[in-house]
Amino acid sequence: MKNYARGLRPRRSKKICLDDNGAVAQHAGVAGGVDRNAGAQPAEVGSNGGGRGNARPLDKPAGESLPQYQQLLKQAEAKKLMVQMGYMFRYNPAVLLMKKFLAEGWLGDLFEVHTVMSKVVGDSERDNLAQYPGGIMFELGCHVIDLVVGTLGKPDRVEALSRHSSARKDKLVDNMLAVLEYKNALATVKSTAVEVDGGSRRHFVVCGTQGSFHIQPLDAPNVVYALDRDRGEYKKGRHEVKFGNYPRYVGDAADMAKVIRGDKECDYPYSHDLAVQETVLRASGVLE
């Protein structure tokens, strides 16, 4: 692909497509029908996807232009093409368990979400990221913003705070906080590029009037939940569930295959992805 839209830069993402007989295509160098390709411009979605049932995956985040991404989603929806964003925690087993708790209403009325997504970013990667506005929230915090929007919906208002905290003299905004405001809830999202062993402190916490759900770390997840009463097999009080390591993106690829085959609807509709993108841009200071 050529002439990448600014922000939809070449990154690793996934593509699963159907052959003319409706089977997952197998190509040379492609394992299980999963191809590693870069994100597409809106104009390319129709031309590459038409007539073959292609699903279109894009690496996160979806560029710096909200209107451009909105146009991409409109084109995909018109052609009934699935667009799958590369947010890494969507099929994390701890996140799936959290979704069960939320769907059953076991946590009561939600009033708080708190999440942290940080690491140490090396010099060469800092130079690369500094080319784009939005800093570390745009690049890294977007993964957990996807979860916040999935939990509470699109925020009514977003307040973004940012600092350059590294001693290195570059232009990367590497220490960022966003407060997402809702009618009856608040969410805080923290992301830095300077936290030593930041992966172990990555977490996602949801609090409600009848319980809480805490995932930490996110990459090899463990869960601590607290409930004010028994909920099926999940008992009153504080309890731990350990999952440990899991293969990233395998669940995403499996879900895409099911959607393409017509076995199920997409778990993440166009409206969700658009809400996430707008929230990411506001949380990273790209949109006021």
Domains present along the chain, CATH in parentheses: 13-86+249-264 (no CATH), 93-242 (3.30.360.10)
The residue type of 142 is C
Instruction: Compute the distance between CA of residue 25 and CA of residue 22 in angstroms, rounded to an integer.
Output: 8
Instruction: Compute the distance between CA of residue 162 and CA of residue 156 in angstroms, rounded to an integer.
Output: 20
pLDDT at 16 over 50: no
Kindly indicate the confidence band of residue 63, based on its pLDDT and cuts at 50, 70 and 90.
Answer: confident
Mean pLDDT for the stretch of residues 104-131: 96
DSSP β-bridge partners for residue 36: 14
DSSP code of 225?
Answer: E
Residue with tokens 């600092």: 163
Provide the whole-model pTM. 0.83
Measured between its terminal Cα atoms, the distance across the chain in Å is 31
Mean pLDDT (the chain) is 84
State pLDDT tens for residues 255-270: 999 998 889 999 999 9
Tokens at 190, concatenated? 């923290």
Please name which of 4, 74, 71 lies closest in space to residue 39, comparing C-alpha atoms.
4
Spatial neighbors of 144 by CB under 8 A, at least 6 apart, are 89, 115, 116, 117, 189, 191, 202, 204, 218
Please name which of 203, 204, 218, 199 lies closest in space to residue 92, comparing C-alpha atoms.
218
Alpha carbons within 13 angstroms on the beta-carbon side of residue 224 total: 7
Of 210 and 35, more confident? 210
pLDDT at 197 over 50: yes
Please name which of 247, 205, 246, 244 lies closest in space to residue 226, comparing C-alpha atoms.
205
Mean pLDDT for the stretch of residues 71-96: 93
